[in-house]
Amino acid sequence: MTYIVHGATGAQGAPVLSALLSAGLPARAAVRDTSKLTDVDAVSIDVGSVDSLVAAYEGAEGVFVHLPIGSPDDQRRYALAIGEAIRRAQPARVVFSTSGYSIDPAADGEDAPNVLAREIAASGVSYAIVEPRLYLENLLLPPMLAAAREGTLPYPLRDDYVTSWSSHLDVADVVVRLLTSRATTGIVSVGALPGLVGADLAAGFAGYFGHEVTYEAISPQTMGEMIEPLFGSDSTAPIVASYAHRDTQTGEEIPEARSAQALLGTRVRSVEEWLRAMAV
């Protein structure tokens, strides 16, 4: 009996795999190309192939899954394949991270995270859904980090936009708790409570760097210009659109009643604690 970790070479899966192995638990990386992992147990999967996924999931103590990046149609196809594989293989436990998306399994949303949440809920398998908001790792994109080192932290959120930020490390802590205990089911939201605004982020960077850092609210379009050389125009466009949408919202603070703090008794790292853990 082992734990299967999707995307174990990526930003979300790697901390989960590391946390499981550090706890002395058997874990297997589920990746497309196993040649990248020579020092851990790994299984090759095709996330669009039900048979491939069933072979990886059968007999598993738990499965951690998140949807890979792709077009909306591709992601829905992946969600349906994963859901069908879970239904067939019946692993003992499934934990799904929405990767920052808010979901409502009782609604009829056709976006991939909601589709997969409904598929898992209907599978008959013990499950939990981890629902973070924005990742602190976004602040480590080279343009943002370079500017913060010089004293200004730019980001495309208003100064008063309250967000329950969390790191991939925080999410991994919650995922491991949920994989290894079936006491909590349903949605578990992950993030800072109370939520943080730009000045709070800047204060964390100031504490880590040892010099004053101020927050600068930039436009989504400006962010797009900063990151397009990193991701290309096709990948940058939906990111810019997501922040333009956020500009019409009041914030993204998680509901306390379904927070990991309330349900599991965990806490998220402060911005400064996270930066020290990352050793940037």
Output DSSP code: residue 35: G
Q: For the full predicted model, state whether its pTM sits above 0.85.
A: yes
Around Cβ 53, how many Cβ atoms within 10 Å? 27
Closest by CA to 196, choosing from 161, 220, 168, is 161
Nearest to 42 by CA among 5, 10, 69, 96: 5
> Which segments within 80-160 are labelled E, that is strand?
93-97, 126-132, 152-155
Domains defined along the chain, listed by start: 3-132 (3.40.50.720), 133-166+191-254+269-280 (3.90.25.10)
pLDDT in tens, the chain (280 residues): 899 999 999 999 999 999 999 999 999 999 998 987 888 999 999 999 999 999 999 999 999 999 988 778 899 999 999 999 999 999 999 999 999 988 886 777 788 999 999 999 999 999 999 999 999 999 999 999 999 999 999 999 999 999 999 999 999 999 999 999 999 999 999 999 999 999 999 999 999 999 999 999 999 999 999 999 998 888 888 889 999 999 999 999 999 999 999 999 999 999 999 999 999 9
Residue 27 φ/ψ, nearest 5 degrees: -140, 145
